[in-house]
Amino acid sequence: MNKTIKRRGVLGAAAVMGAGLASPGLVRAQDALESLKIIVGFPPGGSADVVSRHLGERLAPGYARNVIVDNRPGAAGRIAIEMLKNSPPDGRTLVLTPASTVTVYSDIYKQLSYNPTTDLAPVSLAATFVHGLAVGPVVPAEVKTLAQFADWAKANPAKANCGNPGEGSFPHFLTLVMAKALGAPIQPVPYRGGAPGLADMMAGQVAALMLPDGSFLPYTKDNRARVLATSGEKRSPFYPEVATFAEQGVKELVVTEWFGLFAPAATPAATVSRTADAVAKALASKEIAQAFENLGMVPKSNTPSELAALIKVEAATWGPIIRSTGFKPLE
C-alpha cells in the first residue's frame, strides 16, 4: 500500500454554510430542552462514552435540563445510528459516533441500514484524537518497538492478535494495514467497544490492542501495558518516548480520527444550528479541555456545514485507499 493515510489536513476542509427555518411547535431558541439524549454505540467506560458524559455535563442545564447518555453497543456503532435514524427530528436526540461510521462503513460493509448522507444531520465535531498500539502481559517485556513486536508475532503466530473496538472500525482497519506493512501474522479481534478489549488485554486474553492512545494511560503509568507506536504526525504528548508508526517505518499510518455529533436527518436547520452553538460553547470550557486531555483527546467543534464537508472529503479519500488494499467488505 503506497498511499499515506493522513487525516489531519482534511479536518480543515471548508464548506458552504447552510440555512433553514425551524418548524412550528419546536422548542424556542431561548428555552432549554426538558431532556436531551445522546446515543453512544459503545459500552460504558469507553472513549465515546466518557466524551459524551463530559459533554452532557456541560450542556446541562443551559441547553437541556437533563442530559442522558444512552449506551447501545454492538455492530461497531451501527445499532446506535439506526436508533438515531428512527428518532423524532425534534432536537432532543443526538448520536456521538466515531468518524468511521459515517465515512468508510459504506466501503467496509456490504450493506448498511442507514445512509450517512441522507439519514443523518451533521451537528458538530466533538473531539479529535490519535490511535495507539499497546501490548499487555502476553507479550514479553523486552518487546518495545514495532519491529520487535513483528518478530515476536512471527515467532508466536497463535498468540499474535490485536483487539479493536468493533468490526469495521478504524482501529480494525489500521490493524490490517499495520500487519501487512510489517509482514507479520497479526489477527484483528473485534470487541463491542474499547473497554472490554482493555479488560481482556490486561487479563492476558489478547496480546495487543489498537485504540485511541489516551485509553492506555491508566495502564501505562504502572507498566501494566506498553504503548509501542502512535498514529499522529508527531509523537503523543502522553508518550513522548514512543516513536510514531511513521518513524518506525509504517508511513501509511498517519491518522487523526474524530468523534462527531449527529441529529436525525429531518431535524430543522435552525434546531441543528442551535445545538451546534451549544456544543461549541460547551467544548470551549476549561473543564472540558482538562477532562479531554486526560483521555488523550482535543476538544474541537465546527459548524454543521463544515462537518458535512469533512465527511464528504474523508469518504472520497478513504474509499479508494480501502479498495486498493483488497479488503473484502464485511457482512
The candidate with the shortest Cα–Cα distance to 117, out of 322, 307, 256, 275, is 307
Distance CA 253, CA 250 (A): 6
Q: Which pLDDT score is estimated for 53?
A: 97
- Is the link from the previous residue into 61 a cis peptide, with omega within 30 of 0? yes
For the chain, the structural domain boundaries read 9-129+258-324, 130-230
Better-scored residue on pLDDT, 70 or 42: 70
Q: Which pLDDT score is estimated for 97?
A: 97
Q: How many helices (DSSP H) and strands (DSSP E) are in the chain?
A: 11, 10
Is residue 168 over pLDDT 90?
no
Read off the pLDDT of each residue in 199-211 and give the average, rounded to a whole number.
97
Distance CA 101, CA 105 (A): 5
CATH superfamily of 130-230: Periplasmic binding protein-like II (3.40.190.10)
CATH topology of domain 9-129+258-324: D-Maltodextrin-Binding Protein; domain 2 (3.40.190)
pTM of the entire predicted model: 0.79
Q: Which pLDDT score is estimated for 169?
A: 83
Average predicted confidence (pLDDT) for the chain: 89
Tell which phi-psi region holds residue 3, choosing left (phi > 0), alpha (psi between -120 and 50) or beta.
Answer: beta
Q: Which pLDDT score is estimated for 2?
A: 41
pLDDT in tens, 74-121: 888 999 999 999 999 999 999 999 999 999 999 888 899 999 999 999
Q: Which pLDDT score is estimated for 67?
A: 97
Is residue 160 over pLDDT 90?
yes
Is residue 321 over pLDDT 80?
no
pLDDT in tens, 115-140: 999 999 999 999 999 999 999 999 99
Distance spanning both ends of the chain, measured CA to CA: 24
